Structure 1
Amino acid sequence: MNDLNTSFLKTNTLPDVQSNQDSRALPIERVGIRGIKQPVLMRSSNGSFSTVASFEMDVALPADKKGTHMSRFVSLLEQDRKEIDSASVATMAKEMLPLLQAKQGRIQMRYTHFVKKIAPVSAVQSWMDYQVTYLAEAKQGVDEHIEVDLYLQAVVPVMSLCPCSKEISDYGAHNQRSHITMLVKLDSDAQLTVEELVRIAESEASSELWAILKRPDEKWVTEHAYENPKFVEDLVRDVACRLKNDQRILSLMIEAENFESIHNHSAFARISLP
């Protein structure tokens, strides 16, 4: 019987092509991996839950380097992290730079955030889902201290009822499902939860949504929305007013899109504040 040849396990015998010099004198702004999915345990203000996150990770590559070490991005994701939150994403971005021997880089994590909600009348419980993105941009300073800019985006589905339709109609008013997108730049030391953003968006809409509603709940939602009409312009202004004075938020962008029920197009509005 032949002995097993284990030479392939000795990586120091193989050439490291990525570390070679490049003579084209062209730096690369971003190089990395995109679309890698990982199961994660997310920490939230209402406890932890399991979900699946899609990651995009990249670094800046100097002009004299031929390539980056793609497998090290995956190795960073594979490290055992019991729970993930905004601080975890910022920490990963800081760890990525020395691991990839880079001066700057980005980690973007998109996932479905779940919140257990209670219907307004029947009190039946159900899970609502929200699309959430964390973005951490890391940069090494002259003293090798790594600074991280952290962004949080949440897309919150709500209900909006048209004030104009209510005013001119003898019978009811048209309403539609809307998406409120909030993108905020956070103070890296501040704790702003996804649940806080969700509650602000939902409270400024004509009505929030639930996954399960019984007939008494449906009556409540319909009447509540009718008493609280909102244009798409009202949605972005009201949410921006709630967020603009929050000291934990350094800048913000609010966008609302109404998926019109009486038109074959959407209406939208956007506000950005430094």
Structure 2
Amino acid sequence: MERVIAMLPDVQLLKPEVPIGLSRVGATGIKKLVEVQREGKRPIILISSFDVFVDLPAHLKGVNLSRNFEVIDEVIETLTSQPIENIEDLVVEVAKNLLDRHEYATNAEAKMTAELIMRKRTPKTRQRTQEVVRIFGEAKISRNGKKLVFVGVEVTGITACPCAQELVRARSAERLAEMGFDDDAIQRILDAVPVASHNQRGRAMLKVQVTDSFKVPIAKLIEIAKTSMSYETFEILKREDELEVVEMAHRNTRFVEDGVRIMACNLLKAFPEAPDNVLAFLRQENEESIHQHNVVAERYATFGELRNEIGSAGTAADSPNP
């Protein structure tokens, strides 16, 4: 039996019927446990999902996918045997090892995605609760020495629509006037009482390039991403907390476009030392409540481009979140 197996051809090395190169071939959804150390705190255990790819030249029929799984197992075992400070080091090592194992490839990619469970407190009663934040690291490396590495986060929150609120405000002013209130009284009433609007659950994504000399803490990216929306959401809310969330969200209405722009301002504010050529990707998606579609806004730019556009005129609004 061993002799028969030894005589079997390596099908991946055969010539393909259609000899064209492929940009990416690999595997997705590979689940692994990753332990991330924290100074002075207990380590974080992440249930992580890996996507790995290499390019394939035109003369080969396929890649040896078993090598991809071996790379992830070996690299994670090696790196978790000692403290890991950030996830970007892990994806870089996976990508490097992919190139080592696939000698025909010129490019390799590795992406890690995980859900981070964070503890926080509700805004009024200060009750303990938890929050799920999606974090990820991405690495693309080439044999010619090029390397592109990102870390990122995705958080959820609530957004309130400013357009619908203005419509409700105008209708309310008309009704108050019909009831005999003068303009000054109407203005004071509308300032005192939060005006209704339709809401969305928002998802803010922020991805920033990291280099050997420029790093970004995941916790800081989470903080910045949260500022893009009208307010935070919570798993558990007492009545006082629910009132605070709804009122604050309606006093801080945001278009989906506002979210990306405010994120950009706060990103520059948080990392003034970031080199001009460092890339950032900002994305806000709102799941509409009165429409059957979602709305999305995105921006992909360098820090230098954002600085030139925002200039001294752009001052980010302070986050209303607790």
TM-score by length of 1: 0.82
| Structure 1 or 2: more helix by fraction | 2
Query: 1:99 is matched by which residue type in structure 2?
Result: R
In structure 2, how many angstroms separate the alpha carbons of the residues matched to 1:16 and 1:147? 35
- 1:214-253 equivalences under 5 Å are 214-244=238-268, 246=271, 247=274, 250-253=278-281
Which residue of structure 1 aligns with residue 184 of structure 2? Answer: none
Change (3 A) 1:272 1:147: closer
| Structure 1 or 2: more strand by fraction | 1
Contact 1:28 1:63 in 2 (8 A): yes
Of 23-32 and 49-58, deviating more is 23-32
Name structure 2 gaps, 5 residues minimum. Answer: 173-193, 303-322
Query: 2:21 is matched by which residue type in structure 1?
Result: P
Contact 2:88 2:138 in 1 (8 A): no
Classify the secondary structure of the residue corresponding to 1:211: coil
Of 53-62 and 76-85, deviating more is 76-85
Contact 2:204 2:228 in 1 (8 A): no
Name structure 1 gaps, 5 residues minimum. Answer: none
Number of residue equivalences: 263
1:99 counterpart (98, 101, 108):
101
Which residue of structure 2 aligns with residue 60 of structure 1? Answer: 55
2:34 counterpart (27, 40, 60):
40
Of 262-271 and 85-94, deviating more is 262-271
Which residue of structure 2 aligns with residue 197 of structure 1? Answer: 221
Which residue of structure 2 aligns with residue 160 of structure 1? Answer: 159
In structure 2, how many angstroms separate the alpha carbons of the residues matched to 1:26 and 1:257? 37
What is the identity percentage for the equivalent residue pairs of Structure 1 and Structure 2?
Answer: 26
Whether 1:73 aligns to 2:71 is no
Spell out, residue by residue over 1:91-126, the C-alpha distance to the aligned partner (whole angstroms, 9 max, x if none).
221122112223211112222222222222222222
Which residue of structure 2 aligns with residue 149 of structure 1? Answer: 148
In structure 2, how many angstroms separate the alpha carbons of the residues matched to 1:26 and 1:224? 56
Classify the secondary structure of the residue corresponding to 2:259: helix
- 1:254-269 equivalences under 5 Å are 254-269=282-297
Spell out, residue by residue over 1:128-158, the C-alpha distance to the aligned partner (whole angstroms, 9 max, x if none).
11233322111011xxxx4421123422111
Query: 2:26 is matched by which residue type in structure 1?
Result: G
Q: Which stretches of structure 1, 4 residues or longer, exceed 6 Å deviation after superposition?
A: none
Contact 1:42 1:49 in 2 (8 A): yes
Which residue of structure 2 aligns with residue 173 of structure 1? Answer: 196
TM-score by length of 2: 0.71
In structure 2, how many angstroms separate the alpha carbons of the residues matched to 1:264 and 1:25? 44
**What's the CA shift for 1:43?**
4.9
In structure 2, how many angstroms separate the alpha carbons of the residues matched to 1:263 and 1:44? 43
